[in-house]
């Protein structure tokens, strides 16, 4: 008998299990399940003040605010909030795929197969491109039992999947959707902190893998290994830090004209209902820029605790502000031709929506239109309606310009993907 | 042979449950819920668990229960025999059990309340770690966040220890994050106090 099995094998319980036909399960199951396969690794770093609520004032309204994860089961298609979702005139929104619990980052293969990562359910899905006679697209679960496999990136026939602290490559994935080959480990020199540990990943025009490492808590002095974006060769070698002072980016893309990296960054909590804004940043000098965290927020004010002795002038300011606590996550430049001219080279941004705010903000896809000066000229609502009466009926996580120029939007609250198209 | 025996046992349970579900369709809702809950109640008690190591389920909200059953099914949370019990459940089964479990009355505490010294230490910990932010002012839970007041003491201690070591990865990492800062003495005090509420 093992220590873990002991509490479950009291005489009374054994009797209860036996009368339920479960007698055979007890001791053997307890023993057999002591495998480390799905147990999370211990944290590599003991972080002080590493939880989401650090910094909260002891005040009646503030204590009611806390992040709440969405459900583990996908919403049935008939109950999706499609009738509440609004797009601009001339655009149309429909359900692209449903039954994809906790759908997060998306990436698309040349044949149209869509790969989708998850944060809380440990799975990676493939959505087949052709809808069946019933109008539904088949979903295949290509991996399960992973630890927060939020990040997916398709490149040269292979699917790269980012767990919390490991990045894997599934070769020739399109031909192996039913039984993927054992993945190759690409890179695992990553911290194991749960806070901001899940990852958005992408492969740049330089054929390198871009991997963020978030701050291991709301507001703290991050170790040298955190609050940054790294660039790594596709074989996992030559990792280098290309951006520092990045609190938690869960979305980035390359400007199709300049090839520069643009990224969203989630601002800290508990300063105020109204500041700081989430940021939209541009990396112009890889390896040389610091984007402010934890010293300066939104480019305009120094942190009440860590900002003393610093000035925001020391850091690279954002090119756009995305609203306080909006949880601006996935972002992509519009590189298709289906949408009108005004959207070409504009940036679509999925805002998961706030928790650290009494009146919720976000829960939408917005479009940031760049001005002639390289800054963002305007941030406009594009897909709205996920927030109803200060409650979420859905939460956008990522946007993706599909091969046909439509925009796909993932919703981890409902486990669904929507398609926004223009014209016929 | 071990895996086969486990699987057979789990399948046997599932077919029995299938019969229960099918038979329940035409019966009064209370009777259907009662039948569905019979195997749960056998170990967990009808709201209050009398068995060491087995949590009380009374007063939990369906969102929390469905999330735990999901984690058992997916083996994200290892807690034998629940992984085998849930192994073959469909999403609809998870929802049905969660709704049924949510009808159980909140657990009742039978022992003496916490003494003043423990109360003082534990209330300071509750404030420091902001337990009430998510679990509610009376620690009775909300949405997918569990009711913890009057839960069994050793179960609370085990849960916090599991979060601290990451042996129990939360569905959401919030508890893994907060538990990093708890000492063994903190965990003992919190479990003793919260179980006596």
Work out the minimum CA distance from A223 to partner chain B, whole angstroms.
Answer: 17
Across the interface, whether the CB atoms of A50 and B180 are under 8 A apart is answered: yes
pLDDT(B39) > 90: yes
Burial class (CB in 10 A: 0-12, 13-18, 19+), A237: exposed
* pLDDT value, residue B20: 47
| Nearest-angstrom CA–CA distance, A41 and A23 | 32
Residues 6+ apart with CB under 8 A from B83: A29, A33, B72, B73, B75
CB contact under 8 A, A7 and B53: yes
Residue in B closest to A41 by C-alpha: B166
pLDDT digits (tens, 9 = 90+) for A180-208: 889 999 999 999 988 899 999 999 999 99
- Enumerate the residues of chain B whose CB falls inside 8 A of the CB of residue A358: none
Query: If you average pLDDT over every residue of chain A, what do you get?
Result: 88
- For residues A349 and B23, the model is more confident at A349
Residue A201: closest CA among A172, A236, A171, A225: A236
Exposure string over B38-68, b if 16+ CB within 10 A, otherwise e:
ebbbbbbbbbbbebebbbbbbbbbbbbbbbb
Task: Measure in Å the smallest separation between the Cα of B190 and chain A Cα atoms.
Answer: 18
Q: Which of B6, B84, B133 sits opposite A63 (nearest CB)?
A: B133
Q: Choose among B75, B154, B180: nearest Cβ to A47.
A: B180
Mean pLDDT of B153-174: 92
Q: How confident is the model at residue B173 (pLDDT cuts 50, 70, 90)?
A: confident
Q: How would residue A57 be classed by pLDDT, with cut points 50, 70 and 90? A: confident
B113: tokens are: 């309340």
The pLDDT value recorded for residue B8 is 41
Position with higher pLDDT, A25 vs B14: B14
Q: What is the number of CB-based contacts under 8 A between chain A and chain B?
A: 165
- In this structure, are residues A260 and A333 in contact, taking their beta carbons and an 8 Å threshold? no
The Cα-based distances of A381 to A279, A288, A350, A351, A418 in angstroms read 16, 33, 10, 10, 16
As a whole number, the mean pLDDT across chain B is 86
Chain centre distance of CA A300: 26
Q: A211 forms bridges with which residues in the sheet? A: A230
| pLDDT for residue A320 is more than 70 | yes
Q: Categorise residue A335: left if φ over 0, alpha if ψ from -120 to 50, beta otherwise.
A: alpha
Per-residue pLDDT tens digits for A127-184: 999 999 998 999 999 999 999 999 999 999 999 999 999 999 999 999 999 988 899 9
Contacts of A145 in chain B (CB under 8 A): 74-76
Distance CA A117, CA B6 (A): 31
DSSP-derived secondary structure letter, A122: -
For B64-84, what is each residue's pLDDT tens digit? 999 999 999 999 999 999 999
Q: Could B67 and A72 be called an inter-chain contact, meaning their C-beta atoms sit closer than 8 Å? A: yes
Predicted TM-score of the model (pTM): 0.85
A30 touches chain B (CB under 8 A): yes
- pLDDT score of A55: 74
> Is A313:A286 a contact under the CB 8 Å cutoff?
no
Q: Among the listed ranges A249-263, A410-424, B77-91, B165-179, which one has the minimum average pLDDT value?
A: B165-179
């Amino acid at each position: 008998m093992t220590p873990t099995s002991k509490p479950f094998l009291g005489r009374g319980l054994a009797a209860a299990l036996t009368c339920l036909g479960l007698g055979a399960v007890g001791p053997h199951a307890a023993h057999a399940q002591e495998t480390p396969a799905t147990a999370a690794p211990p944290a590599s770093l003991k972080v002080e003040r590493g939880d989401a609520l650090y910094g909260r004032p002891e005040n009646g309204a503030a204590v009611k605010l806390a992040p709440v994860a969405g459900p583990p089961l996908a919403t049935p298609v008939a109950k999706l909030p499609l009738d509440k979702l609004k797009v601009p005139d001339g655009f149309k929104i429909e359900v692209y795929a449903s039954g994809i619990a906790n759908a997060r980052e998306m990436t698309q293969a040349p044949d149209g197969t869509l790969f989708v990562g998850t944060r809380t359910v440990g799975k990676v899905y493939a959505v087949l491109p052709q809808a069946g006679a019933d109008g539904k697209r088949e979903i295949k679960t290509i991996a399960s039992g992973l630890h927060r496999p939020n990040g997916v990136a398709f490149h040269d026939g292979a699917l790269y999947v980012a767990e919390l602290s490991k990045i894997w490559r599934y070769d020739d994935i399109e031909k192996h959707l039913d039984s993927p080959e054992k993945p190759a480990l690409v890179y695992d020199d990553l911290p194991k902190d749960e806070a901001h540990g899940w990852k958005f990943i992408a492969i740049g025009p330089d054929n390198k893998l871009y991997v963020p490492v978030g701050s291991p808590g709301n507001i703290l002095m991050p170790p040298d290994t955190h609050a940054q974006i790294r660039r790594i060769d596709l074989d996992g070698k030559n990792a280098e830090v290309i951006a520092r002072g990045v609190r938690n980016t869960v979305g980035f893309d390359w400007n199709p004209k300049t090839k520069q990296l643009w990224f969203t960054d989630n601002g800290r909590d508990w300063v105020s209902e109204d500041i700081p804004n989430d940021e939209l940043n541009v990396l112009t000098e890889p390896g040389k820029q610091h984007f402010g965290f934890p010293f300066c927020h939104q480019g305009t004010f120094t942190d009440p605790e860590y900002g003393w002795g610093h000035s925001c002038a020391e850091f690279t300011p954002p090119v756009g502000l995305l609203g306080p606590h909006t949880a601006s996550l996935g972002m992509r430049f519009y590189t298709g031709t289906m949408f009108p001219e005004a959207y070409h080279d504009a940036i679509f941004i999925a805002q998961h929506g706030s928790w650290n705010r009494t009146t919720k903000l976000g829960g939408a896809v917005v479009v940031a239109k760049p001005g002639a000066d390289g800054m963002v000229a305007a941030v406009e609502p594009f897909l709205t309606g996920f927030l109803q009466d200060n409650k979420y009926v859905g939460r956008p996580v990522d946007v993706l310009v599909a091969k046909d120029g439509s925009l796909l939007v993932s919703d981890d609250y409902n486990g669904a993907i929507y398609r926004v198209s223009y014209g016929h | 042979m071990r895996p086969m025996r486990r699987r057979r046992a789990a399948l046997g349970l599932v077919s029995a449950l299938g019969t229960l579900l099918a038979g329940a369709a035409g019966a009064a809702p209370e009777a259907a819920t009662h039948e569905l809950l019979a195997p749960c109640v056998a170990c967990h008690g009808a709201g209050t668990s009398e068995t060491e190591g087995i949590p009380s389920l009374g007063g939990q909200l369906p969102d929390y229960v469905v999330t735990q059953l999901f984690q058992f099914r997916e083996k994200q949370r290892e807690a034998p025999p629940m992984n085998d019990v849930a192994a073959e459940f469909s999403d609809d089964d998870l929802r049905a059990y969660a709704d049924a479990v949510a009808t159980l009355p909140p657990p009742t505490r039978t022992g003496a309340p916490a003494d003043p010294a423990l109360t003082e230490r534990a209330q300071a910990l509750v404030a420091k770690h902001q337990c009430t932010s998510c679990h509610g002012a009376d620690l009775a839970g909300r949405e997918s966040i569990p009711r913890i007041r009057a839960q069994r003491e050793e179960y609370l201690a085990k849960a916090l220890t599991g979060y601290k070591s990451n042996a129990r990865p939360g569905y959401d990492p919030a508890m893994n994050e907060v538990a990093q800062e708890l000492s063994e003495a903190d965990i003992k005090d919190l479990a003793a106090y919260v179980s006596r509420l």
